[in-house]
Amino acid sequence: GENVGLHLPTLSVQEGDNSIINCAYSNSASDYFIWYKQESGKGPQFIIDIRSNMDKRQGQRVTVLLNKTVKHLSLQIAATQPGDSAVYFCAENGSPGGSARQLTFGSGTQLTVLP
């Protein structure tokens, strides 16, 4: 079946550097994408989203880029801080074969910020 997957399972960055987390999706009908951050013992926390009619969206220290041609999504975190250490999931909110909407998650990337 169609799925959303992440390129790298782990990413380590120095504090203050920029982080880039990548995600590939396979459902070409997907029109809405979300990035979540999950810290240990907590539920996923919404970070930023983007719709398929956009290529880029910026938030506070975060930017999401969408390349529909190659079905690729990325999350950029500027000036990474220790509090950014977490697992990051991309998700698509398409409708694979159905009329209702559900989130399909990637496998997640563990981001570790080094002091």
How far, in Å, are 35, 62, 97 from residue 46 at the CA level? Answer: 6, 12, 25
Nearest approach, Cβ of 61 to another protein (angstroms)? 19
Choices 13-21, 58-66, 70-78, 106-114 (CB under 8 A): range interacting with another protein: 106-114
Between CA 88 and CA 2, with CA 41 as vertex, the angle to 5 degrees is: 40
CA–CA separation, 55 and 20 (whole Å): 16
Return the range that interacts with another protein (CB under 8 A); candidates 11-19, 21-29, 76-84, 96-104.
96-104
Report CA-CA distances (Å) from 77 to 16, 65, 98, 100: 10, 12, 34, 32
107 sits near another protein (criterion: CB under 8 A): yes
| One character per residue 20-59, x = contact with another protein (rule: CB under 8 A) | ------------x-x-x----xxxxxx--x----------
Name the residues that contact another protein, by CB under 8 A.
Answer: 32, 34, 36, 41-46, 49, 89, 91, 93, 98, 100-108
